[in-house]
C-alpha cells in the first residue's frame, strides 16, 4: 500500500462528457508522482469530512500528472457536487495513494465491459493490453452518447471498441461478449451494480475481475461481540455487536488508514494473523476471502470469538 500523501494542484479542468468532469493534477513544485498501474485509484480529501476515491484514468507513463474523472451525482453523498461546484484550475487538493485492488493481470485475451463512469479504470487498461499485444474488446454502455466520457479517445482503437448508449441500443447485450470466451481470457468490468451483477451471472468467477463503486449486498454472519488482539500495539479490545472493528480500534487511540467506511476502497485492508474473518467487503476476490490473510476492518467482522490483527 502506498503511503504517499501530498497537496496537488489542479492544472486542467474540462468536461469529458455531460456531467463528467476531468481534472488533471500535478505537484506544485513539479515533483514526480508515484508510479501507478492500470486499475489504481487515489483518495481525494475534499474537506468538511468529505473524502472520495477516484480511479486514475491518464497515462501511467506520465510521472508528472494524474488524471481523474468525476461524475456529478445530485443524489450522492456530496463529494461529486463539491468537486463540480468548488474545485477549479489552480486550487489544491490533498491526495493519498495510489492503491490498486483492480490490477490488470497478464493474459493473452481480455473482454472489457464498462458502464458509465466505470470507463475510468478501464481506459488505461486498454492501452496496456494494446501495448502487450493481447487480443481484446471493449463493450461500453451508458445512458446517452453525450453522457459517456472519453469516447473520442476510444476512437483510435477502431472496431475493438463498441460504444452502445442505452437510448440508442437498449441494455448492453452481454451474451455475445461473455458466452464461450476462449480459455485464458480475463474479463474486467466496472460500472453500476446491476451491470456487474449481470456480468457475474454470465462469467465464471475465476475469469472475472470487477470493481464496484457501491457496496455489494453480502451474506452476513453473526453480529455478536468478539475480541480483537492488536499484535503490534499489544492490546486486546472487545468489538461490540453494533460497532465496527475500525471504530473500535480508532476509539482506543490506535491510528489506522481508512476512507470509504463501506468496504469498497480497500484503504483499511489489514493483515489477519489469527482467526477467521467474516468478510463483508466488495473488494477482495473469492480466493483472497478463502485465504483469510487480510480483511477490511471498516465492515468485516469475525466468524468466531477472536481475531489477531497486525496493528
The pLDDT tens digits for 140-157 are 999 999 999 999 999 999
| Residue found by looking up cell 477502431 in the block | 158
CA geometry: angle at 153 spanning 150 and 154, to 5°? 90
Banded pLDDT at 236 (limits 50, 70, 90):
very high
| 208 burial level (CB within 10 Å; 0-12, 13-18, 19+) | buried
Residues 103 and 36: beta-carbon distance below 8 Å: no
What whole-number distance in Å separates Cα of residue 301 and Cα of residue 243? 10
Residues 111 and 178: beta-carbon distance below 8 Å: yes
Q: For residue 120, give the C-alpha cell.
A: 475510468
What whole-number distance in Å separates Cα of residue 114 and Cα of residue 310? 36
Q: Give the pLDDT score at 30.
A: 95
Task: Determine the average pLDDT of the residues in 93-105.
Answer: 93
Q: Give the pLDDT score at 183.
A: 87
| Residue found by looking up cell 467487503 in the block | 281
Adjacent-strand bridge partners of 25: 10, 66
pLDDT 10s digits, 43-65 = 999 876 788 899 999 999 999 99
Q: Give the pLDDT score at 1.
A: 47
User: Is the pLDDT at 5 greater than 80, yes or no?
Assistant: yes
User: Is the pLDDT at 256 greater than 90, yes or no?
Assistant: no
User: Is the pLDDT at 77 greater than 80, yes or no?
Assistant: no
The CB density around residue 89, as the number of other CB atoms within 10 Å, is 12
Q: Give the pLDDT score at 26.
A: 98
Task: Determine the average pLDDT of the residues in 156-180.
Answer: 95
Q: Give the pLDDT score at 218.
A: 60
Residues 125 and 104: beta-carbon distance below 8 Å: yes
pLDDT 10s digits, 266-286 = 889 999 999 999 999 988 888
Q: Give the pLDDT score at 217.
A: 63
Residues 54 and 76: beta-carbon distance below 8 Å: no
On average, the pLDDT of the chain sits at 92
Q: Give the pLDDT score at 287.
A: 83
User: Is the pLDDT at 123 greater than 90, yes or no?
Assistant: yes
Amino acid at each position: 500500500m502506498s503511503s504517499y500523501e501530498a497537496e496537488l494542484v489542479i492544472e486542467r479542468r474540462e468536461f469529458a462528457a455531460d456531467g463528467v468532469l476531468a481534472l488533471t493534477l500535478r505537484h506544485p513544485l513539479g515533483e514526480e508522482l508515484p508510479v501507478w498501474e492500470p486499475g489504481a485509484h487515489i483518495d481525494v480529501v475534499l474537506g468538511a469530512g468529505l473524502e472520495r476515491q477516484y480511479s486514475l484514468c491518464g497515462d501511467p507513463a506520465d510521472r508528472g500528472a494524474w488524471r481523474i474523472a468525476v461524475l456529478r451525482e445530485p443524489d450522492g453523498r456530496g463529494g461529486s457536487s463539491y468537486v463540480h461546484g468548488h474545485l477549479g484550475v489552480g486550487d489544491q487538493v490533498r491526495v493519498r495513494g495510489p492503491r490498486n485492488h483492480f490490477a490488470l493481470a497478464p493474459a493473452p485475451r481480455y473482454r472489457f465491459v464498462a458502464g458509465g463512469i466505470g470507463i475510468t479504470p478501464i481506459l488505461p487498461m486498454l492501452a496496456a493490453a494494446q501495448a502487450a499485444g493481447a487480443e481484446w474488446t471493449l463493450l461500453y454502455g451508458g445512458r446517452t452518447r453525450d453522457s459517456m466520457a472519453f469516447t473520442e479517445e476510444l476512437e483510435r482503437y477502431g472496431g475493438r471498441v463498441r460504444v452502445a448508449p442505452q437510448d440508442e441500443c437498449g441494455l448492453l447485450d452481454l451474451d455475445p461478449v461473455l458466452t464461450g470466451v476462449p480459455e485464458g481470457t480475463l474479463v474486467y468490468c466496472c460500472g453500476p451494480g446491476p451491470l456487474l451483477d449481470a456480468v457475474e451471472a454470465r462469467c465464471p468467477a475465476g475469469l472475472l475481475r470487477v470493481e464496484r463503486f457501491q457496496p455489494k449486498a453480502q451474506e452476513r454472519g453473526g453480529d455478536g461481540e468478539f475480541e480483537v488482539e492488536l499484535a503490534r500495539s499489544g492490546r486486546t479490545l472487545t468489538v461490540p455487536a453494533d460497532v465496527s472493528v475500525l471504530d473500535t480500534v480508532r476509539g482506543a487511540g490506535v491510528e489506522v488508514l481508512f476512507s470509504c467506511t463501506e468496504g469498497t476502497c480497500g484503504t483499511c485492508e489489514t493483515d489477519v494473523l489469527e482467526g477467521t474473518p467474516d468478510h463483508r467487503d466488495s473488494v477482495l476476490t473469492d480466493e483472497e476471502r478463502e485465504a483469510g490473510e487480510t480483511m477490511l476492518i471498516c465492515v468485516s467482522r469475525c466468524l468466531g470469538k477472536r481475531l489477531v490483527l497486525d496493528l
